[in-house]
Amino acid sequence: MPAWPTPDETRIATLGTAARPSPLLRAAEPFVDDAERVLLSTRVADLTAGATPPSFERAGPRRQIFHDAATLGCGIVTCGGLCPGLNNVVRSIVLRLWHGYGVHRILGFRYGYAGLATRHGHAPLTLTPDMVEPLHNQGGTRLGTSRGPQDVDEMLEHMIELDLSLLFVLGGDGGLRGAAALAAEIARRRLPIGVIGIPKTIDNDLAWTARSFGFGTAVEAACRVLAAAHVEARAAWNGVGLVKLMGRHAGFIAAHATLASADVNMCLVPEVPFALDGPDGLMAAIERRLAAKHHVLIAVAEGAGQELFAATDGSRDASGNLKLQDIGTLLRERIAAYFATRGVDVALRYIDPSYAIRSLPANALDAEYCLVLGQHAVHAGMSGRTNMLVGSWNGQLVHVPIPLAVHGRRTLDPHGEEWQRVLESTGQA
C-alpha cells in the first residue's frame, strides 16, 4: 500500500473568502462545490474502515470568486525545456480569462523566470485574444523559456510594480519549485496574490499527476521514429536500430512508445539497471537476437544505464538537475566494438530525436487536454486558490498543492503492470 498524503498535505491554500458572484453564473456553467473530492485510490483494499479516505479537491468553476475581474492583472510564464502544448495552454488561459471572466489585463513574461526579474530587461508581452488566436497550431512557446532560478524578492517586486494579483506558471519540477517559493514569500508578506501551476513535464514524472500535457504527443512522435529505425534495421543483414528517447529519471516515454510500437525488442529505462557484459548482459542478448532474426530494435531512455559510467563530478544544469552521461553514445560505441571483436558485421543506425519531438505542436488529444487544463487553472485562480496546480488523477481534474507535487518524482514501478506489459511485448528478460 502506498504512503498516501495526509489531509493537511492535500489541503489547498486560499487568499481569503471568495465573496463575489462568478460572472459564469450567466452561462449555465456546471459549477463544482468546494466539498467535492476525488479519491486518491480506486482500490477498496486501500480504504481504512472508519478513516477519512485520502482525496484531492476536485477542479472546476466555483459560484463565488475572490478576485475583482474589473481591476485584476494576471501574468503567465513558461519555464524549463520545450514541450508540445505550451502555446495551447497559454492560449486557453488568455481566452478563458478574457471571455469568461472579463479580465483584460494579461501579461506574458518572456524567457521564463528571467522575464520576471527586471535586471534581465525582458519586457513582458501584452496578451489578447487576437494575439494568441493562432498559437494552438504552433510548437514551442510564444513567450520563450529558460532554465534556472531567479531572485524571489526581485520577481515579486516586479509583480507588485505591475499590479498583478494572479500568476500562472507552466513548469516542471524546477519551475514549480520556483512557483512554491514565490507563493511562500507572498504568504509571508500577506499579499493577495495567487500562484497557480500547470504541470509541464514531457517525461510525465511529476508526482501526484497521472498525465502531463505533451506526453501523448511525445509518445506518438517516438513511435514514428521507432518505426523508421525498425525499417532501417530490417533492411540490412544484422541491422541494429538504436533510438534514444527522453526520460531523465522516468522511462514512461520509452515504455509507452515500446508498447504502442510493438516492434521494439529491448526497452531500457532508468528504473531497471542492466549489465552490458556477461551471459545475461545486453551485448549477449543482442547477439542472440541477431543470430535468430538478423535485426534488432532497441529503445533507450536518456537516463537509463547511468550506473554503467564512472562516478561523475556531481555537476548540475541551470535547473539543478544532475547532468547525465550520454547512454546513447555509450551503447553505440560498445555495440560496434563488441561485434567488431567477434568479426561480425552489423549495420548500426543510431537516432536521437529528442529536440525534434519536444518542439512539435500538440497532437489532438494533448490539444484538448491543454485547453481544459488552462480553463481549470483560471477557475482555480479566480476562486482565490494559490500555491497549487491543476493535475489529473483517477480520470478527474484535481487541485494538488505544489509542495506535495514537487516532494517526490513519479517513476515506473519495475514490479508493476506497466513494466510487465513491456516485458511481455519485447520478450526481454
pLDDT (0 to 100) of residue 315: 66
pLDDT (0 to 100) of residue 108: 98
pLDDT at 59 over 90: yes
pLDDT tens, position by position, 116-148: 999 999 999 999 999 999 999 999 999 999 988
Which positions are annotated as active-site residues? Answer: 203
316 DSSP 8-state letter? B
pLDDT (0 to 100) of residue 11: 97
Lowest mean pLDDT among 22-31, 204-213, 371-380: 22-31
Model confidence band, residue 46 (pLDDT cutoffs 50, 70, 90): confident
pLDDT (0 to 100) of residue 303: 96
Q: Report the share of the chain in percent with pLDDT over 90.
A: 90
Candidates 198, 167, 179, 190; CA nearest to 83 is 198
268: Cα within 13 Å, side-chain hemisphere: 28
Q: How far is CA 245 from CA 16, 261, 321, 337, 351, in A?
A: 45, 14, 18, 23, 9
Model confidence band, residue 69 (pLDDT cutoffs 50, 70, 90): very high
- The predicted model gives 94-107 an average pLDDT of 97
pLDDT (0 to 100) of residue 316: 62
pLDDT at 371 over 80: yes
pLDDT at 43 over 90: no
Which one is predicted more confidently, 356 or 316? 356
At CA 79, angle to CA 146 and CA 311, rounded to 5? Answer: 70
Model confidence band, residue 311 (pLDDT cutoffs 50, 70, 90): low
Beta strands 74-78 and 13-14: pairing type? unpaired
Query: What backbone torsions phi and psi does residue 118 show, to the nearest 5 degrees?
Result: -60, -25
pLDDT tens, position by position, 314-334: 666 655 667 899 999 999 999
Is residue 66 within 8 Å of 17, Cβ to Cβ?
yes
Model confidence band, residue 279 (pLDDT cutoffs 50, 70, 90): very high
pLDDT tens, position by position, 224-265: 999 999 999 999 999 999 999 999 999 999 999 999 999 999
pLDDT tens, position by position, 374-417: 999 999 999 999 999 999 999 999 999 999 999 989 999 999 99
- The predicted model gives 266-276 an average pLDDT of 97
pLDDT (0 to 100) of residue 1: 46
pLDDT (0 to 100) of residue 317: 61
Is residue 423 within 8 Å of 415, Cβ to Cβ?
no
Model confidence band, residue 47 (pLDDT cutoffs 50, 70, 90): confident
Lowest mean pLDDT among 25-39, 86-100, 126-140, 375-389: 25-39
pLDDT at 340 over 80: yes
- The predicted model gives 283-295 an average pLDDT of 97
- The predicted model gives 281-291 an average pLDDT of 97
Model confidence band, residue 306 (pLDDT cutoffs 50, 70, 90): very high
44 DSSP 8-state letter? G
Average pLDDT over the chain, rounded to an integer: 94
H/E segment holding residue 2: none
Is residue 195 within 8 Å of 182, Cβ to Cβ?
yes
All structural domains of the chain, each given as residue ranges with its CATH number in brackets, are 7-213+362-405 (3.40.50.450), 216-359 (3.40.50.460)
Model confidence band, residue 176 (pLDDT cutoffs 50, 70, 90): very high
